Amino acid sequence: MALQITLAITIVLQFFAATTALKLTKVTKYNLSWILISFGFVFMAVQRLAEFLPFVTGFRPQDFDMIFLWLGATTSLFFAIGVFLIQKIFEHIRRGERETRRQEKVLLNAVVLAEERERRRFATELHDGLGPLLSTIKMSVSALAEAETNPDSLAVIKNTSMAVSEAIKSIQEISNNMSPHMLVNFGIAKAIRNFINKINQSNGLKVIFKTNIIDIRYPTGTEIVVYRSVCELLNNSIKHSQASKVNIDLTADGRTITVVYKDNGIGFDSKALFIDEKRQGTGYFNMLSRINSLKGQLDIKSDKNKGILINISIPIDEQFEENKSILGR
Protein backbone atom coordinates (compact mmCIF):
# COMPACT_ATOMS: atom_id res chain seq x y z
CA MET A 1 0.00 0.00 0.00
CA ALA A 2 2.84 2.39 0.88
CA LEU A 3 4.43 1.68 -2.50
CA GLN A 4 1.17 2.47 -4.31
CA ILE A 5 0.79 5.77 -2.46
CA THR A 6 4.41 6.68 -3.18
CA LEU A 7 3.98 5.88 -6.89
CA ALA A 8 0.74 7.89 -7.04
CA ILE A 9 2.43 10.93 -5.46
CA THR A 10 5.41 10.51 -7.78
CA ILE A 11 3.15 10.38 -10.85
CA VAL A 12 1.33 13.56 -9.82
CA LEU A 13 4.62 15.36 -9.20
CA GLN A 14 6.11 14.06 -12.46
CA PHE A 15 3.17 15.28 -14.53
CA PHE A 16 3.17 18.59 -12.68
CA ALA A 17 6.90 18.98 -13.39
CA ALA A 18 6.36 18.04 -17.03
CA THR A 19 3.53 20.58 -17.40
CA THR A 20 5.61 23.31 -15.75
CA ALA A 21 8.60 22.49 -17.97
CA LEU A 22 6.44 22.67 -21.10
CA LYS A 23 5.04 26.05 -20.02
CA LEU A 24 8.57 27.37 -19.58
CA THR A 25 9.53 26.59 -23.16
CA LYS A 26 8.06 29.94 -24.22
CA VAL A 27 10.06 31.75 -21.54
CA THR A 28 13.24 30.09 -22.81
CA LYS A 29 12.44 31.21 -26.38
CA TYR A 30 11.72 27.59 -27.38
CA ASN A 31 15.33 26.65 -26.78
CA LEU A 32 16.09 23.10 -27.96
CA SER A 33 17.77 22.13 -24.70
CA TRP A 34 14.71 23.01 -22.62
CA ILE A 35 12.36 21.33 -25.11
CA LEU A 36 14.38 18.09 -24.76
CA ILE A 37 14.37 18.34 -20.97
CA SER A 38 10.62 19.02 -20.99
CA PHE A 39 9.92 15.90 -23.05
CA GLY A 40 12.27 13.97 -20.77
CA PHE A 41 9.99 14.91 -17.85
CA VAL A 42 6.93 13.82 -19.89
CA PHE A 43 8.48 10.42 -20.72
CA MET A 44 9.45 9.90 -17.06
CA ALA A 45 5.87 10.65 -16.02
CA VAL A 46 4.58 8.07 -18.55
CA GLN A 47 7.01 5.46 -17.19
CA ARG A 48 5.87 6.08 -13.60
CA LEU A 49 2.23 5.79 -14.75
CA ALA A 50 2.99 2.48 -16.45
CA GLU A 51 4.55 1.20 -13.21
CA PHE A 52 1.45 2.22 -11.24
CA LEU A 53 -1.25 0.82 -13.57
CA PRO A 54 -0.72 -2.88 -12.65
CA PHE A 55 -1.82 -2.08 -9.07
CA VAL A 56 -5.24 -0.76 -10.19
CA THR A 57 -5.84 -2.44 -13.60
CA GLY A 58 -4.92 -5.56 -15.50
CA PHE A 59 -2.21 -3.75 -17.42
CA ARG A 60 0.92 -5.90 -17.92
CA PRO A 61 4.11 -3.78 -18.40
CA GLN A 62 6.14 -6.86 -19.36
CA ASP A 63 4.16 -7.07 -22.58
CA PHE A 64 5.69 -3.73 -23.59
CA ASP A 65 9.27 -4.28 -22.41
CA MET A 66 10.79 -3.16 -25.71
CA ILE A 67 8.69 0.02 -25.78
CA PHE A 68 9.62 0.93 -22.20
CA LEU A 69 13.25 0.16 -22.94
CA TRP A 70 13.21 2.61 -25.84
CA LEU A 71 11.27 5.08 -23.74
CA GLY A 72 13.89 4.92 -20.97
CA ALA A 73 16.77 5.23 -23.42
CA THR A 74 15.10 8.18 -25.15
CA THR A 75 14.46 9.87 -21.81
CA SER A 76 18.10 9.50 -20.81
CA LEU A 77 19.20 10.76 -24.23
CA PHE A 78 16.90 13.80 -24.01
CA PHE A 79 18.18 14.70 -20.55
CA ALA A 80 21.83 14.22 -21.55
CA ILE A 81 21.55 16.35 -24.71
CA GLY A 82 19.35 18.92 -22.91
CA VAL A 83 21.85 19.35 -20.09
CA PHE A 84 24.70 19.59 -22.60
CA LEU A 85 22.88 22.31 -24.55
CA ILE A 86 21.42 24.14 -21.54
CA GLN A 87 24.38 26.49 -21.49
CA LYS A 88 22.61 28.35 -24.31
CA ILE A 89 19.82 29.23 -21.86
CA PHE A 90 22.35 30.58 -19.38
CA GLU A 91 23.98 32.55 -22.16
CA HIS A 92 20.58 33.98 -23.06
CA ILE A 93 20.07 34.95 -19.40
CA ARG A 94 23.53 36.54 -19.28
CA ARG A 95 22.80 38.50 -22.45
CA GLY A 96 19.58 39.74 -20.89
CA GLU A 97 21.40 40.81 -17.73
CA ARG A 98 24.08 42.58 -19.75
CA GLU A 99 21.44 44.38 -21.78
CA THR A 100 19.60 45.39 -18.61
CA ARG A 101 22.81 46.77 -17.10
CA ARG A 102 23.58 48.57 -20.35
CA GLN A 103 20.15 50.19 -20.41
CA GLU A 104 20.48 51.18 -16.74
CA LYS A 105 23.85 52.75 -17.49
CA VAL A 106 22.44 54.63 -20.48
CA LEU A 107 19.48 55.84 -18.42
CA LEU A 108 21.55 56.97 -15.44
CA ASN A 109 24.13 58.59 -17.69
CA ALA A 110 21.34 60.42 -19.53
CA VAL A 111 20.01 61.69 -16.19
CA VAL A 112 23.47 62.97 -15.23
CA LEU A 113 23.95 64.71 -18.58
CA ALA A 114 20.42 66.15 -18.52
CA GLU A 115 21.03 67.51 -15.02
CA GLU A 116 24.31 69.06 -16.15
CA ARG A 117 22.68 70.62 -19.21
CA GLU A 118 20.03 72.15 -16.95
CA ARG A 119 22.73 73.44 -14.62
CA ARG A 120 24.58 74.96 -17.58
CA ARG A 121 21.40 76.57 -18.94
CA PHE A 122 20.53 78.08 -15.57
CA ALA A 123 24.12 79.25 -15.03
CA THR A 124 24.12 80.90 -18.47
CA GLU A 125 20.84 82.68 -17.75
CA LEU A 126 22.24 83.97 -14.46
CA HIS A 127 25.52 85.09 -16.01
CA ASP A 128 24.18 86.51 -19.29
CA GLY A 129 20.79 87.72 -18.05
CA LEU A 130 20.91 88.89 -14.46
CA GLY A 131 24.64 89.70 -14.52
CA PRO A 132 24.47 92.46 -17.17
CA LEU A 133 21.34 93.88 -15.52
CA LEU A 134 23.16 94.27 -12.19
CA SER A 135 26.18 95.73 -13.99
CA THR A 136 23.91 98.34 -15.56
CA ILE A 137 22.46 99.16 -12.14
CA LYS A 138 26.00 99.54 -10.76
CA MET A 139 26.91 101.95 -13.57
CA SER A 140 23.80 104.01 -12.87
CA VAL A 141 24.51 104.08 -9.15
CA SER A 142 28.13 105.13 -9.84
CA ALA A 143 26.91 107.96 -12.07
CA LEU A 144 24.45 109.01 -9.39
CA ALA A 145 27.27 109.05 -6.81
CA GLU A 146 29.32 111.40 -8.96
CA ALA A 147 26.39 113.84 -9.26
CA GLU A 148 25.25 113.67 -5.64
CA THR A 149 26.63 116.21 -3.16
CA ASN A 150 24.50 115.52 -0.07
CA PRO A 151 26.71 113.52 2.35
CA ASP A 152 23.81 111.44 3.70
CA SER A 153 22.55 110.56 0.23
CA LEU A 154 26.11 109.84 -0.92
CA ALA A 155 26.58 107.32 1.92
CA VAL A 156 23.37 105.51 0.90
CA ILE A 157 24.48 105.45 -2.73
CA LYS A 158 27.88 104.03 -1.81
CA ASN A 159 26.27 101.31 0.31
CA THR A 160 23.94 100.49 -2.59
CA SER A 161 26.92 100.30 -4.94
CA MET A 162 28.72 97.91 -2.58
CA ALA A 163 25.62 95.74 -2.29
CA VAL A 164 25.27 95.58 -6.09
CA SER A 165 28.97 94.67 -6.40
CA GLU A 166 28.50 91.85 -3.90
CA ALA A 167 25.42 90.66 -5.79
CA ILE A 168 27.41 90.59 -9.06
CA LYS A 169 30.19 88.65 -7.37
CA SER A 170 27.69 86.17 -5.88
CA ILE A 171 26.04 85.62 -9.26
CA GLN A 172 29.42 84.90 -10.83
CA GLU A 173 30.26 82.39 -8.08
CA ILE A 174 26.86 80.69 -8.29
CA SER A 175 27.08 80.51 -12.07
CA ASN A 176 30.59 79.06 -11.94
CA ASN A 177 29.66 76.50 -9.26
CA MET A 178 26.66 75.32 -11.24
CA SER A 179 28.58 74.96 -14.50
CA PRO A 180 32.29 75.70 -14.07
CA HIS A 181 33.79 76.99 -17.29
CA MET A 182 37.12 75.40 -16.30
CA LEU A 183 35.53 71.95 -16.51
CA VAL A 184 33.86 72.69 -19.84
CA ASN A 185 36.93 74.26 -21.44
CA PHE A 186 39.94 72.66 -19.77
CA GLY A 187 38.92 69.32 -18.22
CA ILE A 188 38.68 67.74 -14.78
CA ALA A 189 42.27 68.21 -13.54
CA LYS A 190 42.34 71.99 -14.05
CA ALA A 191 38.75 72.38 -12.87
CA ILE A 192 39.46 70.52 -9.63
CA ARG A 193 42.69 72.45 -9.08
CA ASN A 194 40.81 75.73 -9.61
CA PHE A 195 38.17 74.68 -7.05
CA ILE A 196 40.88 73.65 -4.56
CA ASN A 197 42.76 76.94 -4.99
CA LYS A 198 39.66 78.81 -3.84
CA ILE A 199 39.45 76.60 -0.73
CA ASN A 200 43.14 77.03 0.09
CA GLN A 201 42.78 80.82 -0.12
CA SER A 202 40.46 80.73 2.87
CA ASN A 203 43.33 79.58 5.14
CA GLY A 204 40.99 77.09 6.79
CA LEU A 205 41.23 73.65 5.21
CA LYS A 206 44.56 72.74 3.59
CA VAL A 207 44.05 70.67 0.42
CA ILE A 208 46.96 68.93 -1.33
CA PHE A 209 46.18 67.86 -4.88
CA LYS A 210 48.27 65.54 -7.08
CA THR A 211 47.46 64.27 -10.57
CA ASN A 212 49.07 62.76 -13.65
CA ILE A 213 46.31 64.16 -15.88
CA ILE A 214 47.40 67.29 -17.75
CA ASP A 215 45.57 68.14 -20.96
CA ILE A 216 43.78 64.83 -21.55
CA ARG A 217 40.02 65.07 -22.00
CA TYR A 218 37.53 62.32 -21.25
CA PRO A 219 33.84 61.70 -22.02
CA THR A 220 31.65 64.51 -20.74
CA GLY A 221 29.72 62.24 -18.38
CA THR A 222 32.92 60.90 -16.83
CA GLU A 223 34.38 64.36 -16.28
CA ILE A 224 31.15 65.58 -14.69
CA VAL A 225 30.90 62.63 -12.28
CA VAL A 226 34.56 62.90 -11.20
CA TYR A 227 34.38 66.67 -10.70
CA ARG A 228 31.05 66.63 -8.83
CA SER A 229 32.25 63.76 -6.62
CA VAL A 230 35.43 65.59 -5.59
CA CYS A 231 33.46 68.80 -4.93
CA GLU A 232 30.93 66.88 -2.82
CA LEU A 233 33.70 65.26 -0.77
CA LEU A 234 35.42 68.60 -0.17
CA ASN A 235 32.16 70.25 0.86
CA ASN A 236 31.54 67.39 3.31
CA SER A 237 35.01 67.80 4.78
CA ILE A 238 34.46 71.54 5.21
CA LYS A 239 30.98 71.24 6.73
CA HIS A 240 31.13 68.05 8.79
CA SER A 241 34.57 66.50 9.22
CA GLN A 242 36.37 69.22 11.20
CA ALA A 243 39.43 68.26 9.15
CA SER A 244 42.47 70.47 8.80
CA LYS A 245 44.08 68.64 5.90
CA VAL A 246 42.89 66.79 2.78
CA ASN A 247 44.96 64.80 0.30
CA ILE A 248 43.53 64.13 -3.18
CA ASP A 249 45.22 61.95 -5.81
CA LEU A 250 43.65 61.94 -9.27
CA THR A 251 45.23 59.44 -11.66
CA ALA A 252 44.47 57.78 -14.98
CA ASP A 253 46.20 54.74 -16.47
CA GLY A 254 44.45 54.48 -19.84
CA ARG A 255 41.76 52.12 -18.56
CA THR A 256 40.59 53.68 -15.31
CA ILE A 257 40.31 57.09 -13.69
CA THR A 258 40.99 56.83 -9.96
CA VAL A 259 40.41 59.31 -7.16
CA VAL A 260 41.93 58.68 -3.73
CA TYR A 261 40.54 61.10 -1.14
CA LYS A 262 41.78 61.27 2.44
CA ASP A 263 41.15 63.71 5.28
CA ASN A 264 42.15 63.81 8.96
CA GLY A 265 38.70 64.67 10.30
CA ILE A 266 36.46 63.10 12.91
CA GLY A 267 35.18 60.42 10.52
CA PHE A 268 31.89 58.51 10.79
CA ASP A 269 30.40 55.01 10.71
CA SER A 270 30.84 54.11 7.05
CA LYS A 271 29.17 50.67 7.46
CA ALA A 272 25.77 52.26 8.08
CA LEU A 273 26.14 54.89 5.37
CA PHE A 274 24.08 53.15 2.65
CA ILE A 275 21.98 50.98 4.99
CA ASP A 276 20.03 53.67 6.82
CA GLU A 277 17.10 54.70 4.61
CA LYS A 278 17.19 58.20 6.10
CA ARG A 279 20.62 58.72 4.53
CA GLN A 280 19.53 57.86 1.00
CA GLY A 281 19.01 61.49 0.09
CA THR A 282 22.51 62.50 1.12
CA GLY A 283 25.36 63.53 -1.14
CA TYR A 284 27.06 60.14 -0.70
CA PHE A 285 24.05 58.26 -2.04
CA ASN A 286 23.78 60.62 -5.02
CA MET A 287 27.50 60.24 -5.61
CA LEU A 288 27.18 56.45 -5.57
CA SER A 289 24.34 56.59 -8.11
CA ARG A 290 26.40 58.76 -10.45
CA ILE A 291 29.44 56.50 -10.17
CA ASN A 292 27.34 53.36 -10.71
CA SER A 293 25.92 54.92 -13.87
CA LEU A 294 29.45 54.67 -15.33
CA LYS A 295 30.08 51.14 -13.94
CA GLY A 296 32.47 52.66 -11.43
CA GLN A 297 33.18 51.72 -7.83
CA LEU A 298 33.04 53.74 -4.62
CA ASP A 299 34.87 52.42 -1.57
CA ILE A 300 34.54 54.30 1.73
CA LYS A 301 36.59 53.53 4.84
CA SER A 302 36.04 55.58 7.96
CA ASP A 303 35.66 55.28 11.70
CA LYS A 304 35.02 57.84 14.38
CA ASN A 305 38.07 60.05 15.02
CA LYS A 306 40.04 58.25 12.30
CA GLY A 307 39.33 60.46 9.31
CA ILE A 308 38.12 59.11 6.00
CA LEU A 309 39.66 57.26 3.05
CA ILE A 310 37.67 57.11 -0.17
CA ASN A 311 38.60 55.36 -3.40
CA ILE A 312 36.67 56.10 -6.59
CA SER A 313 37.46 54.21 -9.77
CA ILE A 314 35.67 54.76 -13.07
CA PRO A 315 36.48 52.74 -16.19
CA ILE A 316 37.37 54.65 -19.33
CA ASP A 317 35.36 53.62 -22.35
CA GLU A 318 37.68 51.55 -24.58
CA GLN A 319 36.16 52.82 -27.81
CA PHE A 320 36.64 56.39 -26.60
CA GLU A 321 40.29 55.69 -25.77
CA GLU A 322 40.89 54.23 -29.23
CA ASN A 323 39.30 57.18 -31.01
CA LYS A 324 40.00 60.17 -28.77
CA SER A 325 42.73 61.42 -31.10
CA ILE A 326 40.18 61.51 -33.90
CA LEU A 327 37.33 62.90 -31.80
CA GLY A 328 39.47 65.52 -30.09
CA ARG A 329 37.64 64.87 -26.75
Question: Per-residue DSSP letters for 19-46?
Answer: HHHHHHHHHTTT-HHHHHHHHHHHHHHH
Cα first-last separation, the chain: 80
Residue 263 has pLDDT above 70, yes or no: yes
Cα dist from 34 to 27, 89, 98, 110, 164, whole Å:
10, 8, 22, 38, 75
Instruction: Please name each of the domains of the chain with its CATH number.
Output: 2-85 (no CATH), 180-329 (3.30.565.10)
Strand (E) or helix (H) holding 210: strand 206-211
pLDDT tens digits along 202-236: 777 899 999 998 888 888 888 888 998 998 899 88
* Average per-residue pLDDT for the chain: 78
- Do the Cβ atoms of 262 and 251 come closer than 8 Å? no
Virtual torsion, Cα 122, 125, 126, 127, nearest 10 deg: 120
Whether residue 28 is predicted with pLDDT greater than 70 in this model: the reply is: no
> Does the pLDDT value for residue 134 go beyond 80?
no
pLDDT score recorded for residue 280: 45
Distances from the Cα of 204 to the Cαs of 48, 238, 265, in angstroms?
Answer: 82, 9, 13
Cα distance between residue 277 and residue 275, in whole Å: 6
The rounded distance, in Å, linking the Cα atoms of 76 and 99 is: 35
Task: Look at residues 138, 119, 108, 122 and name the one whose alpha carbon lies nearest to residue 314.
Answer: 108
C-alpha to C-alpha distance for 142 and 154, rounded to whole angstroms: 10
Could you report the per-residue pLDDT of 148-197, keeping only the tens digit for each?
A: 667 777 788 888 888 888 887 777 677 666 667 778 788 899 989 988 98
> Which residues does 204 contact at the CB level (< 8 Å), separation at least 6?
238
Residue 324 in this model has a pLDDT that exceeds 60: no
Name the pTM for this structure. Answer: 0.57
Confidence (pLDDT) at 326: 33
